[in-house]
Copies of this chain bind each other. A is one copy, B any other.
Amino acid sequence: MTTPRYTPLAASLPATVPFVGPETQERQRGAPFRARIGANESVFGPSPRAVEAMARAAADVWMYGDPENHDLRHALAAHHGVRPENVMVGEGIDGLLGYLVRLMVGPGDRVVTSLGAYPTFNYHVTGYGGEIHTVPYRDDLEDPQALFARAVEVDAKLVYLANPDNPMGSWHSGEAIVRAMDALPDGTLLVLDEAYVECAPEGSAAPVEIDDPRVVRMRTFSKVYGMAGARVGYALGAPDLISAFNKVRNHFGMSRISQAGALAALADRDWLAHVQEQIAASRERLSQIARDNGLVPLASATNFVTMDCGRDGEFARAVVDGLIARGIFVRMPFAAPQNRCIRVSCGREADMAAFAEALPGALAEAQAR
């Protein structure tokens, strides 16, 4: 017998990371990126009021954050017109997905998601011994009908659906999602990841009944609110499910500074509107750059534009590598046929200009391989 003794499940897992961070790549290449437009962070930054609130909270950081997240939960409830018991705040959607999977998924339990959808969700499912079943995208859209049909087939405990979708930027109307839910089998919880919904067209948020036990919605301050580094997400759902998070969560896990920042960010609707405008303009600009270089920009309801390079995954990988070599941090979808694309986050004019400057060379290099 040797020390330590891991669980059989833990022993079977690889030491992995769902994404390689841009800092790691910067250390590898020995130089900083000129444009950081690969992780769908909001280059436009957080609300100045949030920055001020966080700076002010820094001196108070000797205190643990409120484990109930009382003020933020109540503000979010008021914002969404629901009750505080419908809201669970956690360490980003990543953290909340981990708790949710832990509550539902044990060895051999089935989970359904789209092939090429969010790897961190899959990481959690595998990490708790779950079995992942996938369905393909349909015309670069997630396919709720196929997802829910597969959930019936495999008796899934969870089905994951992002709307708008990452990495494709595509979306369904919220009404279409709710209609499709008629086909959700008994015993399957829909995890509706709406991380990007604040930059989607009106009507994209699914109008689900807040106490509907069949669905939990995930929201975040990491994207349009510009606070990825603060780790604040929240789940909206029926009180029983929301309360179940209290069985497993890290109660004192929230940064006090992040709590203060999120509260201020939520209140600053002008900044949100400003960022939404910036995103819309940057999407236009990115789409034009794509077209100028013979790529096909996909329509996007997110803060990024996915660009069809018109060939296979190997070619798109070469384009991404060429961009990274030129100091432009971007990423690409993981699975075929979506991995014929590259994915570029919105940014400021300087970021867009750097991308526009680097893209022709990266393309030429990839074509010459």
Contacts and interface: CB of A to CB of B under 8 A. Distances in A.
Contacts of A55: 54-55, 58
A367 interface: no
Contacts of A24: 66-68, 70
Contacts of A243: 15
Contacts of A23: 66-68, 70
A61 interface: yes
A355 to B, nearest CB: 17
Given A24-B68, A247-B15, A62 B91 contact: no
A66 B57 CA distance: 22
Nearest to A18: B251
Contacts of A51: 58-59, 61
A21 interface: yes
B253 A255 contact: no
A114 B68 CA distance: 28
Contacts of A19: 67, 251-252
A102 B7 CA distance: 8
B45 A10 contact: no
A251 B63 CA distance: 24
Given A39-B64, A58-B51, A68-B23, A1 B187 contact: yes
Contact of A62 (B46, B94, B127, B247): B46
Interface residues of A, number: 90
B253 A229 contact: no
Interface in A228-283: 228-231, 241, 243-244, 246-248, 250-258, 261
A119 to B, nearest CB: 11
Interface string A121-159: 000000100000000000000000000000000000100
Interface of A: 1-10, 13-19, 21, 23-24, 27, 36, 39, 41-46, 50-51, 54-55, 57-68, 70, 91-92, 94-95, 98, 102-106, 109, 120, 127, 157, 184, 186-189, 213-214, 222, 226-231, 241, 243-244, 246-248, 250-258, 261
